[in-house]
Amino acid sequence: MSMIHKTATEMAQALADKSITAVELTKQHLDRIAAVDGDVHAFLHVDTEGALAQAAESDAKRAAGETRSVLEGIPLALKDVLTQKGVPTTCGSKMLEGWRPPYDSTVVSKLKNAGVVILGKTNMDEFAMGSSTENSAYGPTHNPWALDRIPGGSGGGSAAALAAFEAPLAIGTDTGGSIRQPAAVTGTVGVKPTYGGVSRFGLVAFSSSLDQAGPCARTVLDTALLHEAIAGYDERDSTSINAPVPNVVAAAKRQEVKGMKIGVIKELMGDGFQKGVLDSFKQSLDLLQEQGAEIVEVSCPSFDYGIAAYYLIAPSEASSNLARFDSMRYGIRVGDDGQRGAEEVMSATREVGFGKEVKRRIILGTYALSSGYYDAYYGSAQKVRTLIKRDFESAFNLADVLVSPSTPTTAFKIGERANDPLAMYLADITTIPVNMAGIGGMSLPSGLSADDGLPVGFQIMSPAMQDDRMYRVGGTLEAALNDKLGKPVWAQAPELVVK
């Protein structure tokens, strides 16, 4: 019997009671990928052999009574920005075509130690720069809800894989919304943990001070289980937090919010937000209130400068992080004809290897860090960042969690904003403040927009290292929505044509 439309929790149960093996479960997902990924294009690389080997090992462990975690034997889709030893890692860029990392990222080590089966690497905007996955050098990913629409970005591949039932679990990374915005537009759940909550070792850096890997799944509980598996202190990442991981699994299961104060951020709704999105958001607020939560309004005036500051800080760090791609040690090399010098070869390689958006941001960041401009641009942006943090601190004095729509609109059409970077950047207006402050953020589906029938995301934000709070609220809201709507949002996706 096919298990692909089940949750990871249900799959884990089936594995535990031996009604399916990890190899069978993996094969079902590999078959699904073969059947639908031609249309969806969620994967850049499917590691059939590796996944089946891991699954076989998992079955052997279970048979020997050595189950490694609750996720033992569950398949997962890995965003192609995290290294996995020996498996191609491109970051959606031509620059790294053919590169096989010699080491596992910490996230991958933890997944392997938990017995999770890694199916392959998912598509993304090049070096995680984008909100639609259209910036992938390997072609866009299509939203399983409507194939002519974007699946969000940069982690569109991971979110689409979940929505298309190609995997029950996925790993994303979130620099300005790259987990939460794709989750919102594909009707799935995505969490950006507190900065430092999950190790960045082996995560190919876009913007070091903002990047954070996180769990993605179709339900809040599945997301929490994956969160628990990948989180925790790592001595190889100096910015990782040396403190116990909040008990997100218990929080996801708690299913009650009585007496909790939920703060609605005034600045993250209103003008520019799609009506269907706002209606869905308000419906969720009502449900939370019915569950006994108190809804309060809070104001975060500095958020108005969030996007501007983000597009100075992230490109500045990116301009430096991406300098290493110079063809000397790995990746492609262009123009090495024995005549050209090293500088010319570096330049020719970067000309060919980087896409348009990456170049745009490298130029922007290089400019912002230049002597004479540093204070006005990078310096001012850092001040805005401090103000955003303070806004959050004040708001968290008034509320236990903060909420907003995850995105201003539902999924837009592929190509619609491709030539309008500013419109594209606005897709992350709601998610960016969370990264700027280093706190935790979750997007979970709150229903379908009445105006276009596409999924809407509800964002929950919790203070740093209090990630359990958003799981508590998310789990409660998810259950209330399932009651009200009759079935989960993700289960309402149109059937894909199976080839």
Partner 1 sequence: MALNYDQAVSKYEPTLGLEVHVELNTNSKMFCSCSTVFGAEPNTQTCPVCLGMPGALPVVNAKAIESSILIGLALNCSIAPYSRFARKNYFYPDMPKNFQTSQYDEPICVDGYLDVEIETDEGPKTFRVDIERVHMEEDTGKSLHVGGATGRIHGAEYSLLDYNRAGIPLVEIVTRIVPGTGKYAPAVARAYVTELRDILRSLGVSDVKMEQGSLRCDANVSLAPIGSGKLGTRSETKNVNSLRSVERAVAGEIVRQANRLEAGERIVQETRHFLEESGETRPGRSKETAEDYRYFPEPDLVPVAPDAKWIEELRATLPEKPSTRRKRLQEAWGVSDNEMASMVNAELLDTVEATIALGAEPARARGWWLGEISRLANEKEVHPTSLITAEQVAEVIALIANGELTDKLARGVVEGVIAGEGSPREVIDKRGLKVVSDDGALMTAIEAAIAAQPDTAERIRGGNIPAAGALIGAVMKATGGQADAAKVRELLLKHLGQG
Site residues, partner 1 (CB under 8 A): 82-83, 89, 91, 96, 99, 101-103, 105, 200-205, 207-209, 235-239, 316-317, 319-320, 323-326, 328-330, 341-343, 346, 366, 369-371, 374, 378
Kindly tell me which of 28 and 327 has the beta carbon lying closer to partner 1: 327
349 vs 459, which CB is nearer to partner 1? 349
CA pair distance 408, 405, nearest whole angstrom: 7
- Least Å distance, CB 23 to partner 1, is 30
Nearest to 73 by CA among 84, 83, 61, 85: 61
Instruction: Tell me the closest approach of the beta carbon of residue 336 to partner 1, in angstroms.
Output: 10
Q: Output the CA–CA distances (angstroms, integers) from residue 260 to 256, 381, 477, in the order listed.
A: 9, 33, 13
State the Cα–Cα distance between residues 246 and 470, nearest whole angstrom.
11
Q: Is 319 helix (H, G, I), strand (E, B) or coil?
A: helix
Q: Which of 46, 16, 9, 15 is nearest to 31 (CA)?
A: 46
Closest CB to partner 1 among residues 81, 217: 81
- C-alpha 72/C-alpha 87 separation (Å) is 21
Choose the catalytic residue: 79, 94, 121, 192. 79
Q: Which is nearer to partner 1, 196 or 263 (CB)?
A: 196
- DSSP letters, 97-149, are TT---SS--HHHHHHHHTT-EEEEEE--SGGG--SSSTT-TT----BTTBTTB
Q: Of these residues, 178, 199, 280, 284, which one is catalytic?
A: 178
Q: Considering the complex, what minimum distance in angstroms separates the CB of residue 116 from partner 1?
A: 19
Take residue 362 and report the two structure tokens written for it: 């490298």
Of 58, 154, 240, 404, the active-site residue reads 154
Q: Left if phi > 0, otherwise alpha if psi is -120 to 50, otherwise beta: which for 219?
A: beta
Question: How far is CA 70 from each of CA 5, 7, 118, 334, 449, rounded to the nearest angstrom?
Answer: 19, 13, 15, 47, 35
User: Could you tell me the smallest distance in angstroms from the CB atom of residue 85 to partner 1?
Assistant: 10
Identify whether 380 is a catalytic site residue.
no
| Cα distances (angstroms) measured from residue 433 to each of 109, 154, 304 | 30, 17, 10
Q: Using DSSP, state whether 87 is helix, strand or coil.
A: strand
**CB closer to partner 1 out of 60 and 363:** 363
Q: Quick one: 235 or 290, whose CB is closer to partner 1? A: 235
Tally helices (H) and strands (E) across the chain.
16, 11
For residue 347, indicate whether it is catalytic.
no
Burial class from Cβ neighbours inside 10 Å (0-12, 13-18, 19+) for residue 143 reads buried
Q: Token pair 């729509």 is at which residue?
A: 405
Which of residues 89 and 274 has its CB atom nearest to partner 1 in the complex?
Answer: 89
Cα–Cα dist 265/395, whole Å: 8
Residue closer to partner 1 (CB basis): 267 or 317:
317
- Tell me the C-alpha distance between 47 and 230, whole Å: 21
Task: Return the ∠ at Cα 181 (arms to 496 and 93), rounded to 5°.
Answer: 80
Shortest Å, Cβ 51 to partner 1: 21
Is 178 noted as a catalytic residue in this protein?
yes
- Smallest distance, partner 1 to C-beta of residue 431, A: 19
Q: What's the closest the beta carbon of residue 429 comes to partner 1, in angstroms?
A: 23
How far apart are CB 248 and partner 1 at their closest, in Å? 24
**Residue 296, token pair as written in the block:** 């309060």
428, 177 Cβ separation under 8 angstroms: yes
Q: How far is the CB of 97 from partner 1 (least distance, A)?
A: 13
Smaller CB separation from partner 1, 323 or 491: 323
- Residues labelled as active-site residues: 79, 154, 178
